[in-house]
Amino acid sequence: MLIAPFALVLALQSAPDDAATAPIAATVTAPDAAAVGASLEAAVRELLGAQESYVPDNAVGGMPDEKLEAWQEGEAARLEKLRAENGPGVEWPYEGVYRVRSGRRAIIPPGYRVGGTAIVCEALVAAPGLDEDAPRVAAIGRSLEFMASMLDPDDGDAGLAPGPKEGYDVRGWGHAQALSLYVQLLARDAKSAFPTGEQRERIAALVPHLVHCLAVNETRGGGWNYAGGAVSPFMTATTLDALMDARDAGFEVDAELITRALDALEKNRAENGAFEYSGRARGEVAMHASAARSAAAELVLLRAGRSDTDRLHAAVLGFFDGWDELLVRKSQQGTHDPPYAIAPYYFMYGHTWAARAIAALDSERRPALRERLLEHLWRTREGSGVWNDRIFPRSASYGTAMAVLAITAG
């Protein structure tokens, strides 16, 4: 495992470790290899410390901005106390404004719990030194048990059961992220200590079920969307990538399911290369509005032979050109605010997929863009070593995991 002075990384930050939200640096030099290695170690440490056993809690509504920091400090302390009381955790639930009713409470939906956990596990697998890191292996193992119990076709959580899309429905996000993680775990060297043979068998048995869940959750006309009934590039790119991975690993995936989604995604792209928020693109679409999703959509189209590296390069440049507009919405209250209807949760998503797109470009373009991406990531890295694009302290796990996936892409 790479060991490097963490002070080098912290020198890039001006916020104290206990700051609720780190200030945004105007300019930052791209970190060197030692600083990157140290940041990954710090991220893994923070993620392991944040694993929890979710206890249903109260939803958080809007509040005056001047009260936000105090609430964040109190919420972070509450979560730390719960983790200490409950012992080793099993999950990293993603927290957003959307909740589902359970008795008298509005709780984090199972799709967010499984999806958030899968993303963190994927990041923990991607970070160097997994096989020699017993606490990390144990933490992922606990989460695999949790996910399997939630996704079990016979007695799993009813909120993750297969079925047609119903209104605002985040099941598909959880299914897609779990599928992505499972296929990547199965691709690891069979001689490695993790996953074990028993874990591999259980994971492999769940892959066809997840493919089925995604197939029956398809939107009318092809593709996927957690909100409306038309194709969403955010959901469709993520889901297509996971399904293509499963197909390439030898699992049966309906070719027409993929074709319909690709067709819908192409219709979602405007002439300038921007992608509409949902549905068919009609006329001009502002690239700033599409900055976080264009690289993801273009990358899966390239993978299917329906795009080229020039289009992908343009999408990456669009991400950087629109970064300041994404930054305006980072860690803010609300969701799709004007002028570009950018929700805070697209911030870290955009970095991860821009990094993956950069990794797919030619060797002449990659180095400078890679350095530029690291510079942008380091501008929002908090003093404790985490990233968070939401107001919720719990969602630092998602943000940090997405940063790890961006750093390790390619």
Please check whether residue 9 is in contact with residue 42, taking contact to mean a CB–CB distance below 8 angstroms: yes
Residue 166 lies in a domain: yes
Contact criterion met (CB below 8 Å) for 387 and 380: yes
Q: For helices 255-267 and 233-248, what crossing angle results, to 10°?
A: 150
Q: Is 275 helix (H, G, I), strand (E, B) or coil?
A: strand
* Residues across the chain: 410
- pLDDT in the model for residue 12: 29
pLDDT in tens, 295-327: 999 999 999 999 999 999 999 999 999 999 999
**Which of these, 383, 381, 342, 379, lies nearest to 27 by C-alpha position?**
379
User: How many whole angstroms separate alpha carbon 207 and alpha carbon 183?
Assistant: 8
**For residues 330 and 346, what is the distance between their CA atoms, to the nearest angstrom?**
8
- The answer to whether the CB of 324 falls within 8 A of the CB of 385 is no
Q: What is the span of the domain harbouring residue 364?
A: 7-58+67-408
Q: Is residue 299 assigned to a domain?
A: yes
* Local mean pLDDT, 10-residue blocks, the chain (410 residues): 27 34 64 96 98 93 90 96 96 94 92 99 98 96 98 97 91 98 96 91 98 97 92 97 99 99 98 93 88 97 98 98 92 76 86 98 97 97 95 96 97
> Domain of 303: which CATH number?
1.50.10
Residue 1 within a domain: no
CA-closest candidate to residue 25, choices 3, 9, 45: 9
In a domain, 309, yes or no: yes
Residue 149 lies in a domain: yes
- Report the distance separating Cα 153 and Cα 216, nearest Å: 14
pLDDT of 53 reads: 98
Per-position DSSP letters for 309-350, written without gaps between them = HHHHHHHHHHHHHTHHHHHHHTT-SSSSBTTTTB-TTHHHHH
pLDDT of residue 26: 60
Report pLDDT for 27.
64
The amino acid that residue 107 corresponds to is: I
CA pair distance 309, 288, nearest whole angstrom: 20
For residue 157, tell me if it sits in a domain: yes
The predicted pLDDT at position 284 comes to: 82
Count of structural domains within the chain: 1
- Please state, in angstroms and as integers, the Cα–Cα distance from residue 279 to each residue in 150, 223, 305, following that order: 31, 10, 22
Residue 9's pLDDT is: 30
Q: What whole-number distance in Å separates Cα of residue 109 and Cα of residue 375?
A: 34
User: On the CB side of 185, how many CA atoms lie within 13 Å of its CA?
Assistant: 30
**Would residue 141 count as lying in a domain?**
yes
Which residues contact residue 390 at a Cβ distance below 8 angstroms, ignoring those fewer than 6 apart? 95, 96, 331, 344, 345, 398, 399
Domain contains 294: yes
What Rg, from alpha-carbon coordinates, does the chain have?
Answer: 20
As given in the structure block, the two tokens for residue 124 are: 């923990």
